[in-house]
Chain A
Amino acid sequence: MTVDDGNSTPPVAQGTATRDLERYAALFAARTGSMKSSAMRDLMAITERPEVISLAGGLPDVSHLPPAMLDAITTSVSTHAVRALQYGPTEGMAKVHEAIQVVMAEEGTLVDSGELLVTTGGQQAIDLVCKTLVDPGDIVLAEGPTYPGAVPTFQAYQADVRQLQMDDDGLDIDLLEQTLDELAAEGKRPKFLYTIPTFQNPAGVTMSLERRKRLVKLAAERELLVVEDSPYSLLRFEGESLPTLRTLDGGNFVIYLGTFSKILAAGLRIGWVAAPRAIRQKMNIGKAGSDLCSSSISQVVVEACIADLDLWRTYLDELRERYQGRRDAMLDSLEHAMPEGSRWTRPRGGLFLWVTLPEQIDTTNLLARALRANVAFVPGRGAYTDGRGGDSMRLNYSGVDEAEIREGVRRIGAVVTEQLELYGEMVGEPLVRQERRRGPRETPPLDAGTPGSLVQFPQRRVNR
């Protein structure tokens, strides 16, 4: 850090700051215009503080991997050290393809190795789909709300994203058909439909079997590519599992995206694509340009973990049980904590649910207030590209334990109620506090929020 004298430092021209700014601004690609800093992103940065109960992240719980699996990982990495530490094929290791085939077969989907491409997490799969298919201005259809992490990817490729409403049975296929008709009338054809049919992120809803069949039929009729993102389908707590779109379609118009993040470990960063061969081939070239291959050591770990199928299945069972308990805790505390006029989805699996509040509430501002009460969520606007979602939020129940979920939801309910009261006073319609739907409970008053308490130094460490 210390520099002895001026000689070792490049000369600094006068007016450097101004010129730096102009120089860089002129060099940025036009597409970076859509890559903005955002208040939300900066607010989210403080959700990392240990005293904040974060219901914001999409973190799977990886703290309970079975010791036998951890042993298998270390043994395998040392046995296959050379392969683990060397570059691998761009499309992924053959044994990982086998593991993927096994995992997909768990939900009844059979694919050929020739359709598979191992990616660096499911996120790279989304990026490669766009890299392969999207030109600036191309129309991409997506659910509204959609996965917040896909939004910046779509924007980076300058897609014209059109979001279609969902209900408890998932994407509204009538609306999709109508949208396709309207676009066709304008002479436009969408590049693809991006959907998370099972335990959708962020909404937590699942597309019904009837709609799945209709969607696949429509896709074939209109030659519409459907990108089926399926990170959560093996995390079902209730109900019968449904066939994937890929299974129903047989691999003609469906590009399937999978990941080991939620069913093994997110830190491995191993996901995959199962796509029609012609598309897979282009994506493979695109991937080579991005990172040559996904981490070899991570692929060796995946191999080792899936090799003992029974162990992995037992682990998945435990994961499902734990998440189900957390989901139940969240649903129960929402029932107690949220004011009249709020509603939320009831996912039968996965990691998230979606809360919609009375329309007077703006959840981006609410997040600032919630952070003062040391609790965080994802504001709904992040799941839309068109400014919708201001009255909604995504809550995650996989990342923290039941006690924290209850406390976190209680705090959110208290700030929502506080804002509704304030709004009511201002418009001359004071909010009458509703009788709670269930028995008595303690509601300690929220911290009054003096300037000193706007944000506090860490007081206790949350276990995560």
Chain B
Amino acid sequence: MRVAVLSGGPSFERQVSIAGAENIVHGLTELGHKAISIDVGRDLIERLTDARVDAAIIVMHGVVGEDGAVQAVLESLGIPHQTPSAMACRRCWDKAITKGLLSDAGIAVPDGVVFDRQPFTSLGAARTLAPVVERLGLPLVVKPARSGSALGVNRAADGSALANAMVGAFSYDDSVIVERFVAGREFGISVIDGEALPAVEILPQDGPEAYDFEARYSIGLVQYECPANLTAEESALLSETAVAAAEALGVNGITRVDLILTPEGVPTVLELNNVPGMTDTSLLPMAAGAAGLSRAQIVAKMLPRG
């Protein structure tokens, strides 16, 4: 099979994408397929057409790769790809929409509010911040509605830090989510074809605040435990929640559900990543390893069947 591996592109996570794509290319080679690496840019359509590919694997995070844009292009050209449909990608890319749909499906999400930049300057929306702090309580987590890898995510311990955190988050996107900080253990659960892989627990060396961009992509700054130290019941609960979340958003194929297990035992879903990282420190390769799946076997699952 001739398979295009789409990486790079214009997003803030360009470097992460390129590192992950190398792993996919190796996997395809191991399987005996022809990998055609494409750094996505203006010539994408020509390159896809010239290469006469049978399928594509998208290894682009963030804008274009994860927001449904490249999926729409591939779907228009009739090229199968491993990520959910363009529409499902859109639903997951905007964390504000994700939150709403999950909540409607009865899945726990952190209580929060979504703000758009415009009303702050045109409607004086800033005056609503104080009541928000009062209602949600401190500390708060502020994040861009559409961004990946913890870029622009900040914790605000008090009201004045909130203004700074919001200006910071608005640097990345025009919609910002302010939500209650949910304490608990953090997990990444990869779901492939409706089945959950073993949970990976994320244990930053310097406490839960430290799982930021630097920690995510530097080997050794975060410890991962996989399979995680969970009771059979907890493990089943996390898997069920992850699969239910994928279903609620119409996500098929491969995804990674990030969630917090609260001390009360409630799995609270933070977000879905439809192009999970594939670098050596990424969670999906780790979970697959724990499930006894080789790199080649994961890659095989990314290709169209039949």
Residues of chain A having any CB pair with chain B under 8 Å: 1-6, 9, 12-21, 24-25, 28, 32-33, 35-39, 41-43, 45-46, 49, 360-362, 365-369, 371, 419, 421-423, 425-428, 448-452, 454-458
Is A45 a contact partner of B14 (Cβ separation < 8 A)? yes
Chain A residue numbers with a CB within 8 Å of B295 are 12, 16-17
Asked if B54 CB lies within 8 Å of chain A CBs, one says: no
Is A426 a contact partner of B219 (Cβ separation < 8 A)? no
Bound-state Cα–Cα, A14 to B288, Å: 9
Chain B residue numbers with a CB within 8 Å of A2 are 29, 32-34
Bound-state Cα–Cα, A421 to B214, Å: 30
Is B152 a contact partner of A14 (Cβ separation < 8 A)? no
Chain B residue numbers with a CB within 8 Å of A457 are 10, 41-42
Is A455 a contact partner of B64 (Cβ separation < 8 A)? yes
Is B219 a contact partner of A39 (Cβ separation < 8 A)? no
18 contacts between A and B (CB under 8 A): A1-B34, A5-B32, A12-B294, A17-B285, A19-B289, A46-B11, A362-B167, A362-B168, A365-B172, A369-B170, A369-B171, A422-B117, A422-B167, A423-B167, A426-B167, A451-B174, A455-B10, A455-B11
Chain B residue numbers with a CB within 8 Å of A427 are 126, 160, 163
Q: Which of A36, A422, A454, A458 contacts B218 (CB 8 A)?
A: A36
**3 closest A-B pairs (Cβ-Cβ)?**
A17-B285, A18-B289, A455-B10
Is B220 a contact partner of A25 (Cβ separation < 8 A)? yes
Chain A residue numbers with a CB within 8 Å of B16 are 42
Is A12 a contact partner of B30 (Cβ separation < 8 A)? yes
Q: How far is the CB of A235 from chain B (nearest CB, A)?
A: 32
Q: How far is the CB of A390 from chain B (nearest CB, A)?
A: 10
Q: How far is the CB of A222 from chain B (nearest CB, A)?
A: 37
Is A37 a contact partner of B213 (Cβ separation < 8 A)? yes
Is B12 a contact partner of A368 (Cβ separation < 8 A)? yes
Is B30 a contact partner of A9 (Cβ separation < 8 A)? yes
Is B14 a contact partner of A17 (Cβ separation < 8 A)? no
Is B168 a contact partner of A425 (Cβ separation < 8 A)? no
Beyond A12-B296, A362-B164, whether A425 also contacts B121 by CB under 8 A is: yes
Is A458 a contact partner of B41 (Cβ separation < 8 A)? yes
Q: How far is the CB of B40 from chain A (nearest CB, A)?
A: 9
20 other contacts beyond A2-B34, A422-B120, A425-B125, with CB at 8 A cut-off?
A: A2-B33, A15-B292, A16-B295, A17-B289, A17-B295, A38-B214, A39-B151, A42-B15, A46-B14, A360-B164, A365-B172, A366-B171, A369-B171, A371-B12, A425-B120, A426-B129, A426-B166, A427-B160, A451-B93, A458-B42
Q: How far is the CB of B140 from chain A (nearest CB, A)?
A: 13
Cβ-closest chain B residue relative to A422: B167
Chain B residue numbers with a CB within 8 Å of A448 are 174
Chain A residue numbers with a CB within 8 Å of B164 are 360, 362, 423
Chain A residue numbers with a CB within 8 Å of B218 are 35-37
Is A18 a contact partner of B219 (Cβ separation < 8 A)? no
Is A422 a contact partner of B292 (Cβ separation < 8 A)? no
Chain A residue numbers with a CB within 8 Å of B163 are 360, 423, 426-427
Q: How far is the CB of A191 from chain B (nearest CB, A)?
A: 27
Cβ-closest chain A residue relative to B14: A45
Q: How far is the CB of B292 from chain A (nearest CB, A)?
A: 5
Is B67 a contact partner of A451 (Cβ separation < 8 A)? yes
Is A37 a contact partner of B214 (Cβ separation < 8 A)? yes
Asked if B35 CB lies within 8 Å of chain A CBs, one says: yes
Chain B residue numbers with a CB within 8 Å of A456 are 10
Is B280 a contact partner of A450 (Cβ separation < 8 A)? no
Cβ-closest chain B residue relative to A12: B294
Q: Which of A3, A21, A419 contacts B167 (CB 8 A)?
A: A419
Bound-state Cα–Cα, A12 to B217, Å: 24
Bound-state Cα–Cα, A261 to B170, Å: 39
Bound-state Cα–Cα, A321 to B281, Å: 49
Chain B residue numbers with a CB within 8 Å of A14 are 289, 292-294
Cβ-closest chain B residue relative to A51: B10
Cβ-closest chain A residue relative to B28: A1
Q: How far is the CB of B12 from chain A (nearest CB, A)?
A: 6
Bound-state Cα–Cα, A419 to B166, Å: 10
Is B32 a contact partner of A4 (Cβ separation < 8 A)? yes
Bound-state Cα–Cα, A254 to B294, Å: 56
Bound-state Cα–Cα, A20 to B11, Å: 27
Is B120 a contact partner of A426 (Cβ separation < 8 A)? yes
Cβ-closest chain A residue relative to B221: A36
Asked if B290 CB lies within 8 Å of chain A CBs, one says: yes
Is A422 a contact partner of B289 (Cβ separation < 8 A)? no
Beyond A36-B218, A458-B41, whether A18 also contacts B290 by CB under 8 A is: yes
Q: How far is the CB of B91 from chain A (nearest CB, A)?
A: 13
Chain A residue numbers with a CB within 8 Å of B25 are 1
Is B15 a contact partner of A45 (Cβ separation < 8 A)? yes
Bound-state Cα–Cα, A19 to B293, Å: 12
Chain A residue numbers with a CB within 8 Å of B93 are 451
Q: Which of A46, A365, A425 contacts B126 (CB 8 A)?
A: A425
Beyond A42-B12, A427-B160, A428-B126, whether A17 also contacts B172 by CB under 8 A is: no
Bound-state Cα–Cα, A362 to B171, Å: 10
Among the interface residues A13, A426, A449, which one has the most CB atoms of the partner chain B within 10 A?
A: A426
Cβ-closest chain A residue relative to B212: A39
Bound-state Cα–Cα, A423 to B173, Å: 15
Chain A residue numbers with a CB within 8 Å of B160 are 427
Asked if B199 CB lies within 8 Å of chain A CBs, one says: no
Is B213 a contact partner of A39 (Cβ separation < 8 A)? yes
Is A451 a contact partner of B42 (Cβ separation < 8 A)? no
Bound-state Cα–Cα, A15 to B297, Å: 11
Bound-state Cα–Cα, A426 to B169, Å: 13
Beyond A18-B290, A42-B15, whether A3 also contacts B168 by CB under 8 A is: no
Is B124 a contact partner of A42 (Cβ separation < 8 A)? no
Q: Which of A24, A449, A454 contacts B219 (CB 8 A)?
A: A24
Cβ-closest chain A residue relative to B205: A33
Asked if B246 CB lies within 8 Å of chain A CBs, one says: no
Beyond A39-B214, A42-B12, whether A3 also contacts B219 by CB under 8 A is: no
Is B168 a contact partner of A365 (Cβ separation < 8 A)? yes
Q: How far is the CB of A1 from chain B (nearest CB, A)?
A: 5
Chain B residue numbers with a CB within 8 Å of A36 are 214, 218, 221
Is A450 a contact partner of B13 (Cβ separation < 8 A)? no
Is B121 a contact partner of A9 (Cβ separation < 8 A)? no
Asked if B99 CB lies within 8 Å of chain A CBs, one says: no
Chain B residue numbers with a CB within 8 Å of A368 are 12, 151-152, 171-172
Cβ-closest chain B residue relative to A13: B294
Bound-state Cα–Cα, A20 to B117, Å: 43
Chain A residue numbers with a CB within 8 Å of B275 are none
